[in-house]
């Protein structure tokens, strides 16, 4: 079901939401965020913004439910691997890397523990929200581990006796520090990206996307 209006999925609340809204505004898309709405209509362009949890954005694109999405590469790759493993659609087009949402996905261990390399993680239990990315990294290193899947409070898992190490997003490092942990290995460097579904869109929609991309190019260059 293709609507006339371009549908863009963005994070409702979290590390990408403000900069994402700012970017769209600088590209000339006028809208008014009010209340707890799922869909916000642009006032001056045939664009609807879908305000959703970041975790849902890759799937919405891969299933062709929305046309465009802004998402962190970490989430995008995790969901892509998970869906590919289940033989579900996992394709998308990466239109451009954005200049915000920078973070790294890192393995962290007790700050007093020694770390000489991935082999030190052999047989350990690792708490994470990104089991697929951890598995890909550990497979590459030839190291086996046990997962401990947590959607939140990952950083408290070692102290709570749930895991030996964690693998979570790090940006300033404050969360690790506050929890007596230190970064041992970076497994992915991530930024926000603009993605599109792979289905062919009607010409008007594709033309609008191309126009937005040109504006985005200008907006991002002007900041550099």
3-class DSSP state of 13: coil
Give CA–CA dist 169/152, Å, rounded. Answer: 11
Give CA–CA dist 112/181, Å, rounded. Answer: 8
**Contact mark string toward ligand PRP, 12..51, x via CB under 6 A:** ---x------------------------------------
Contact assessment for residue 78 and residue 187, using Cβ atoms and an 8 Å cutoff: no
Contact assessment for residue 30 and residue 43, using Cβ atoms and an 8 Å cutoff: yes
Beta bridge partners of 96: 194
Q: Of 15 and 182, which has the nearer Cβ to ligand PRP?
A: 15
Residue 182 CB coordination number (10 Å): 15
CB of 168 to ligand PRP, least distance (A): 5
User: Where in 151-170 is the site for ligand PRP (CB under 6 A)?
Assistant: 152, 154-155, 168-170
E-strand stretches of the chain: 6-11, 39-41, 47-52, 68-72, 93-97, 103-110, 125-128, 146-149, 165-170, 181-190, 192-196
Interaction partner, residue 54 (Zn ion, ligand PRP, none; CB < 5-8 Å by kind): Zn ion
Interaction partner, residue 174 (ligand PRP, Zn ion, none; CB < 5-8 Å by kind): ligand PRP
Give CA–CA dist 73/13, Å, rounded. Answer: 17
Interaction partner, residue 171 (ligand PRP, Zn ion, none; CB < 5-8 Å by kind): ligand PRP
User: Where in 113-152 is the site for ligand PRP (CB under 6 A)?
Assistant: 152
CB of 178 to ligand PRP, least distance (A): 8
CB of 72 to ligand PRP, least distance (A): 9
CB of 151 to ligand PRP, least distance (A): 8
Interaction partner, residue 55 (Zn ion, ligand PRP, none; CB < 5-8 Å by kind): Zn ion
Angle at 165 between CA 158 and CA 53, to 5 degrees: 85
CB of 219 to Zn ion, least distance (A): 26
Residues that bind Zn ion (CB under 5 A): 54-55
């Amino acid at each position: 079901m293709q609507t006339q209006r371009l549908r863009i999925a963005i994070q409702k609340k979290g590390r990408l939401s403000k900069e994402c809204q700012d970017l769209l505004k600088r590209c000339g898309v006028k809208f008014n965020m009010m209340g707890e709405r799922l869909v916000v209509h642009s006032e001056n362009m045939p664009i609807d913004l879908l305000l959703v949890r970041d975790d849902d954005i890759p799937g919405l694109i891969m299933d062709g439910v929305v046309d465009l999405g802004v998402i962190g590469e970490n989430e995008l790759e995790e969901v892509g691997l998970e869906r590919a493993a289940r033989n579900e659609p996992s394709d998308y087009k990466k239109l451009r890397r954005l200049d915000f949402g920078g973070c790294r996905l890192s393995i962290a261990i007790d700050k007093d523990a020694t770390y000489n390399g991935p082999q030190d993680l052999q047989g350990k239990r690792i708490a994470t929200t990104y089991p697929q990315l951890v598995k890909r990294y550990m497979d590459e290193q030839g190291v086996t581990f046990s997962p401990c899947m947590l959607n939140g409070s990952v950083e408290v898992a070692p102290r709570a006796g749930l895991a030996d190490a964690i693998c979570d997003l790090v940006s300033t490092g404050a969360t690790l520090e506050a929890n007596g942990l230190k970064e041992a290995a970076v497994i992915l460097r991530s930024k926000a990206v603009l993605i599109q579904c792979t289905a062919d869109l009607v010409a008007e929609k594709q033309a609008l996307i191309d126009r937005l991309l040109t504006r985005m190019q200008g907006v991002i260059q002007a900041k550099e």
